Amino acid sequence: MKRPLLITGAVILLDQLIKLWVKTSMPLGKQIPVIGEYFRLYFIENNGMAFGMELGGESGKLFLSLFRIVAVFGIGYYIYTLSRDKASKYLIIAMSLIFSGALGNIIDSVFYGVIFNTGTFAEPAVLFPAEGGYAGWMHGKVVDMFYVELINIGRDEAPSWLPNFLFGPDDRWVFFRPIFNLADAAITCGVFTIILFYRKIFKHQSPAKEENTATE
């Protein structure tokens, strides 16, 4: 279990340190160029899932928070069984990244509404404000801050063979538009690890299947 614990601990610690710094140092909507226009810190908050997707209303937010908690317990138990059964290290790493990313965003949802005030477009949020937080337990907003803009071209500049669905309402193709956090990135890396190492992860037959094959 050392590898999953190390991965989970490192991702959650770094994710939360970045989020705490952003919340207490940057007003909502502030942008800080890191690598020109290609990579910026851009502080926003969302009520929902990875990359800004969300379910509507307070009931949707509560359902999502509860669903995340149940899912994380399930993933955690699955990682335990993988480690116990000495499964592929690639699968263990992938699931640990997904687990840590999900848990990182759960922390925002469960605690941030209670320990932060709202914050504004002029002032950063305050940690443990005297007047109390901006929401109740499990109704906190998820903090996002990474904006990577690799492509930004208008329809009139683009080659004619590019499909129309790539262009947004502003007639520009921006890749990519979602603003995300380290927890989102960990989940994405976990999924891509499974895809990239699919054959190595699932190449071994189960012992029962191997026994059946050998006796035929």
DSSP structure string for 10-52: HHHHHHHHHHHHHHHHS-TT-EEEEETTTEEEEEEEESSSGGG
Task: Enumerate the active-site residues.
Answer: 144, 184
Q: Are 133 and 115 in contact (CB under 8 A)?
A: yes
Residue corresponding to tokens 């710094």: 21
Place of tokens 């012992």: 207
Spatial distance between the Cα atoms of 150 and 152, rounded to a whole number of angstroms: 7
The pTM for the full model equals 0.85
Question: Residue 214 in contact with residue 131, Cβ under 8 Å?
Answer: no
pLDDT at 105: 93
E strand or H helix at 143: strand 142-148
Beta strands 151-154 and 142-148 are unpaired
d(CA 175, CA 166): 9
Pairwise CA distance, residues 180 & 173, whole Å: 18
pLDDT along the chain (216 residues), means of 10: 92 98 97 92 81 59 82 95 92 96 94 94 95 92 94 90 89 89 96 93 59 48
What does the domain layout of the chain look like in residue ranges? 2-215
